[in-house]
A and B are shown apart, each in its own frame.
Chain A
Amino acid sequence: MEVTDALVEKMAWLARLDIPFEEKAAVQKDLERMIHFVEKLEELDTTGVQPLLHMSDVVNNLREDEVKGSVSTEQALLNAPSHTDRFFLVPKVIKK
């Protein structure tokens, strides 16, 4: 699989990462090496094998739905880089 500029751009966009211009070539090379490396799996015939979806064999591990306390507003805001006394602050999303 060829790792093109456009592919790297697209992955960076999906992952919400910026790749600085001067690092683009190195990132592209790393991604290419990594993808090439995992393409080894193609050599193994897995026709008819069900993909393994869960590690645990526990099914529907349910508990009673009880009302319990959670964190306070003050605690929830404790680690927020920017907030008011009630809200998390982010750049303006809706433009007039």
Chain B
Amino acid sequence: MFSFKSIETYHQYLATHPDGCTIAVKYYLERIEENKHLNAYLEVFAEEALTRAAQLDSQRAAGKPIGKLHGVVISIKDVIAYKGHKVSASSRMLEGYTSLYNATAVERLLAEEAIIIGRNNCDEFAMGSTNENSAYGPTRNALDPDRVPGGSSGGSAVAVQADLCMLSLGSDTGGSVRQPADFCGIIGLKPTYGTISRYGLLAYASSFDQIGVFGKIIADLAMVLAVISGPDEYDSTALSNKQEINDLSILSSNTPPPRVAYFREAIEHPSLDPEIRYTLLQFIDTLQQDGAVVTEVPFDYLDFIVPAYYVLTTAEASSNLSRYDGVKFGHRGAAQPGDTLDAFYKKNRTEGFGKEVQRRILLGTFVLSAGHYDAYFTKAQQVRQLLVEKTTQVFQDFDALIMPTVPATAFRLGEKSDDPIALYLADIYTVFANLTGIPGISLPLFKHSNGMPFGLQVMTDRYQDPYLLQLSFNWLSRYQGVNLQG
């Protein structure tokens, strides 16, 4: 029976199994079929994946050297373009839309011989934190199907959680990779803004959006990151730090004890589940006992970060989503004789977009409108500047910043559906990294007495992604599966 542990061991397995890729793909197709009720996939590219697996198997048999992600079975969030395949952002707006090109991330996965097995359910246009805002129904948490997997990349998280692929890609605008990783008990990485090209990623808020990776092993995430990151002529914000990430070598050797900061206000925040707070404080003690320098740092801006985030992201979204007018692509409503062009746009957009997307477009339109622009939009940009300055200051003295990933464990389905603000507030710990562009990761270290997992969020300064992965590797090696709650 096939089982996956890491890319490295899988490649060892392939060396002795001539039809290994085919066996792996068949295994995942069966798993996906058995777990259909989780609704993690909107579409499975079954035949194509099998054909590609057979090709890879025969290439290997012919003695061709293998690519870095040879035969690695990956699923992608339904906001990432894959040429000749549908991409819908889980929205009626893009029902039937076929991508004409590959996202740069997909192009690079394929060039290293990965197998893309399907596209994952998510919140519509990546707006949401429960995966309940999908036009194709919610995804369910495999650990408890009455609970949400988190969002917006809920399907991609469950695909890894429930062993329905080896690794997956999501996107993280305000926590949409780290938060579902926390709820599902896996690793979710959002790299530094600009690390992975956004070409072919359906835009939500362009100065926040970043593709992220889900997996269970740091070395695997590091490998995928090394493959898909780097400059791109199609995205001028993609950083030229490819070399740095390529050089990444996850070592089990000792690194100097880290200097770690945490925000007092984050740990003391009233919305934080008491058991999560207690566990985190215990963990801080453990780190200190093991030689790390862990210091409490004041942070006066905690209550301003979610409002700043929602002003800026909805503004960018209202602009980005104006392209969906039903002319060149997108949903088109039934025309009435005598419809004006404006009535036509309104019908297409109102029928195509779901409720939460419309809410955010309206707020974004408001904060950008004449007479309100300075008081809301410019103000939020100033707050963002303060946050960046504060971040720079913190990382002058510290190597890493730790926080909870989410204030609570996975919500029950429907629990938070009637109050958008309550749900927005649950992003309190994750939006910080997107506002400041720093990398963040959620590490599956803890378990709540209610049976659900929760993560530790670790952040570093911008461009320190290799260090973040190294530290994550060290901590997971040392503390994963260890009872830290005393």
Residues of A that sit less than 8 Å from B by CB: 7-8, 10-12, 14-19, 27, 30-31, 33-35, 37-44, 46, 49-56, 58, 61, 63, 71, 75-76, 78-82, 88, 90-91, 93
What are 6 contact pairs spanning A and B, CB under 8 A? A11-B365, A34-B310, A38-B307, A38-B310, A50-B382, A51-B384
- Given A80-B327, A81-B326, A91-B335: A38 touches B311 (CB 8 Å cut-off): yes
- Is B303 in contact with A40, judged by CB distance below 8 angstroms? yes
List the one stretch of B132-140, B233-241, B269-277 in contact with chain A. Answer: B233-241
Question: Cα distance A56–B327 when bound, in Å?
Answer: 32
Closest 3 pairs (CB-CB, A-B) = A51-B381, A81-B332, A79-B329
User: A50 to B100, alpha carbons, bound, how many Å?
Assistant: 40
Within 8 A of A (CB), among B381-399: 381-386, 388
Is B424 on the interface with A (CB-CB < 8 A)?
yes
- How far is it, in angstroms, between the C-alpha of A41 and the C-alpha of B378 when the chains are bound? 11
- Please, which residue of chain B has its CB at the minimum distance from the CB of A30? B359
- Contacts A56-B239, A91-B335 given: A11-B379 contact, CB under 8 Å? no
Return chain A residues, CB-CB under 8 Å to B208: 55
Closest to B436 in A: A55
Residue of A7, A44, A76, A91 near B340 (CB, 8 A) is: A91
Chain B: residues with Cβ within 8 Å of the partner, total of: 67
Interfacial chain A residues near B328, Cβ < 8 Å: 76, 79-80, 88
Known: A51-B382, A91-B335. A33 touches B344 (CB 8 A): no
B339 within 8 Å of A by Cβ? Answer: yes
**Which chain B residues lie closer than 8 Å to A8 at the CB level?**
362
Residues of B within 8 A of A55 (CB): 193-194, 207-208, 237, 437
Q: A34-B420, A55-B194, A55-B237 are in contact. Are A15 and B386 (CB under 8 A)?
A: no
Q: How far, in whole Å, are A51 and B386 apart by their CA atoms in the complex?
A: 9
How would residues 299 to 326 of chain B score, 1 for a CB under 8 Å from any chain A CB and 0 otherwise? Answer: 0010110011011000000100010011
- Map CB proximity to A onto B358-381 as digits: 1 under 8 Å, 0 otherwise: 110111011101000001101111
B341 adjacent to chain A (CB < 8 Å): yes
Q: Which residues of A are found within 8 Å of B421, using beta-carbon distances?
A: 33-34, 37
CB closest residue in chain A, given B234:
A63
Interface centre among A27, A34, A50, A93 (most CB of B within 10 A): A34
**Separation of A14 and B171 alpha carbons in the complex (Å):** 28
* Least distance between B373 CB and chain A CB atoms (Å): 11
> Is B350 in the interface zone, CB < 8 Å from A?
yes
A51 adjacent to B307 (CB under 8 Å) = no
A27 touches B362 (CB 8 A): yes
Most buried by B among A11, A33, A82: A11
- Report B99 CB to chain A, min CB distance, Å: 9
Chain B contacts for A37, CB-based, 8 A:
307, 310, 421, 424
Chain A proximity mask over B192-220: 1 for CB below 8 Å, otherwise 0: 01100000000000011000000000000
* A48 → B minimal CB distance (Å): 9
Query: Cβ of B327 and Cβ of A88 under 8 Å apart?
Result: yes
- Say yes or no for B128: interface residue by CB 8 A criterion: no
Residues of A within 8 A of B375 (CB): 42
Please tell me if the beta carbons of B329 and A52 are within 8 angstroms of each other in the complex.
no
CB distance from A50 to the nearest CB of B (A): 6
Measured CB to CB, the nearest residue on chain B to A36 is B421
Chain B residue contacts of A91, Cβ below 8 A:
335, 339-341, 343-344
Given A38-B367, A43-B304, A46-B382, 5 more contacts at CB 8 Å?
A: A40-B303, A44-B383, A50-B382, A55-B237, A91-B339
Quote the shortest CB–CB distance from A96 to chain B (angstroms).
14
The reply to whether A58 and B237 form a contact with Cβ atoms under 8 Å apart is yes
Contact: A44 with B359, CB < 8 Å?
no
**CB-based contact B97/A31 at 8 Å:** no
CB distance from A26 to the nearest CB of B (A): 9
A79–B86 Cα distance when bound, in Å, is 11
Using CB atoms, name the residue of chain A closest to B312: A52
Interface residues of B in 83-113 (CB under 8 A from A): 96-98, 100
Roughly how many angstroms separate A2 CA and B193 CA in the complex, as a whole number? Answer: 36
Q: B378–A35 contact, CB under 8 A? A: no
B473 CB–A CB distance under 8 Å: no
The answer to whether B347 has its CB under 8 Å from any CB of chain A is yes
Q: In the assembled complex, how far is the CB of residue A65 from the closest CB belonging to chain B, in whole angstroms?
A: 12
